[in-house]
Amino acid sequence: MTGQEIPFPPENSRIDGLAATFAARLIDWQRRCGRHDLPWQGSDPYRVWLSEVMLQQTQVRTVLPYFARFVARFPTVEALAAAPLDEVLALWSGLGYYARARHLHAAARLWVARWPGTCPQGAQEWAQLPGVGRSTAAAIAAFVQRERVPILDGNVQRVLCRLFAVEEDPRAAATARRLWDAAHALLPRDPDDMPAYTQGMMDLGALVCTRTRPRCDLCPVAELCAAHRLGIAAQLPRKRARAPVPEQDVRWGWYEEDGAVWLVRRAPQGIWGGLWCLPPADEAPPGRWRAAGEIARLTHRLTHFTLNITVTRYLPETPRAAEHAAAWGEEARCLTPHEALALGVPQPLRRLLAQAVDVPIEHAKGNMRRLGVAKGKFEVSERIDEHDEDVARLFRGKEKP
């Protein structure tokens, strides 16, 4: 078997023996060199599901503190289902892709309603939860139910592109279909091997078959790898040409009254859907306001575009916050910056609020330029306990049965 490669796409007549070798070597390597101490590894379907959603397009290191806070507040799917969406968004604040949090909350309620006291049985049923697609459903089912279904995340795509020396863009639909077929053909025969095998595919991509500088000298399946034999492992998968990122200018209003600032809930669709944010500078709360200068200019880089945010401070001509609150309804709140930090807010606003109250927050790292002040780089430490107390106080008594 040594030195042979697995044909791509795999042919049934030749695949069995080679696939068995691939799976056996990967499983053995995972048990010796893979990751075994991640906090979601185990038999709890809730923790596996939660982690898989958090890990979508997000690195393990980033997820770890969010996962810890989340399971501390919501130890079970029943606790998550009973919570208000606002508290879920608050705990998700800073993690990004907030549709995941909205889907997670809806999925928890569907879960307890349709599978009370248990959980979805198999990938087919896991995929019925909102926010759980084919790859996530397969990962959960492989770990929890030992089902023989393949995953195809970014790591596995890269591993397979190298294993078969695939030159095409793995994101193209036609190529992706062949990669799914290949991933299925490589699965181990014994269902009991599925957890170690699936974790092994993830670990291999994350620890050995990395995007840059792959460690082929440590790879348990290097002898089966076409790209390694051709000496092009580091060049695969081919990167696609990317269009230049456009810029967009946004103006936010810092409407301040008696040390509190107005926030409005963003629409559920679109960027930062459902989160609390400063209102646009030209949409003042009820009452008469006067501009009091620019507070900050923020540059926020996203994958597909760059946001240039200008924040202007406004002060009331006449103090009457209570009337404003009644006039602007439930989707607007006037809170101190400290209180606002306990809500689900976009990361650039989180940085601005943290600076306003000089309260460190977790994962608020980056650059911010204050007018009249030299450009400063700040990195703040973790104050999880205090933040959690704020969250608990803000949402106390608001849970639904």
What DSSP assignment string belongs to 32-58?
HHS----TT-SS-HHHHHHHHHHTTTS
Residues in the chain, overall count: 401
CA-to-CA separations, 64 to 22, 47, 73, 154, 209, in angstroms, rounded = 30, 12, 15, 19, 22
CB of 90 or CB of 132, closer to DNA: 132
Active-site residue flag, 52: yes
Q: Is 296 left (phi over 0), alpha (psi -120 to 50) or beta?
A: beta
At 284, list the tokens: 């003042």
Q: Do residues 48 and 216 touch, judged by C-beta distance below 8 A?
A: no
At 239, list the tokens: 């990167």
Residue 218 makes contact with DNA by CB under 7 A: no
Residue 231 makes contact with DNA by CB under 7 A: no
CB of 18 or CB of 353, closer to DNA: 353
Residue 279 makes contact with DNA by CB under 7 A: no
Of these, 20, 78, 103, 181, which contacts DNA (CB under 7 A)?
103
User: 365-370 and 260-265: which strand pairing?
Assistant: unpaired
In 3D space, the residue among 257, 256, 294 whose CA is nearest the CA of residue 278 turns out to be: 256
In 3D space, the residue among 274, 266, 252 whose CA is nearest the CA of residue 349 turns out to be: 252
Site string for DNA, 79-98 (x = CB under 7 A): ---------------xxxxx
For DNA, which stretch binds (CB under 7 A), given 15-23, 184-192, 239-247, 316-324? 239-247
Residue 226 makes contact with DNA by CB under 7 A: no
Least distance CB 354 / DNA (angstroms): 11
CA distance 255 to 53: 36
Of these, 189, 297, 301, 369, which contacts DNA (CB under 7 A)?
301
Residue 383 makes contact with DNA by CB under 7 A: no
Site string for DNA, 306-345 (x = CB under 7 A): ----------------------------------------
Residue 32 makes contact with DNA by CB under 7 A: no
For DNA, which stretch binds (CB under 7 A), given 215-223, 238-246, 255-263, 308-316? 238-246
Q: How far is CA 262 from the centre of its chain?
A: 28
Kindly list the residues in this chain that would bind DNA in the complex (CB under 7 A): 35, 38, 40-41, 51-52, 55-62, 94-99, 103, 130-137, 139, 153-155, 158, 172-174, 199, 202, 205-206, 211-213, 237, 239-240, 242, 270-273, 300-304, 346-348, 363-366
Q: Which residues are identified as catalytic? A: 52
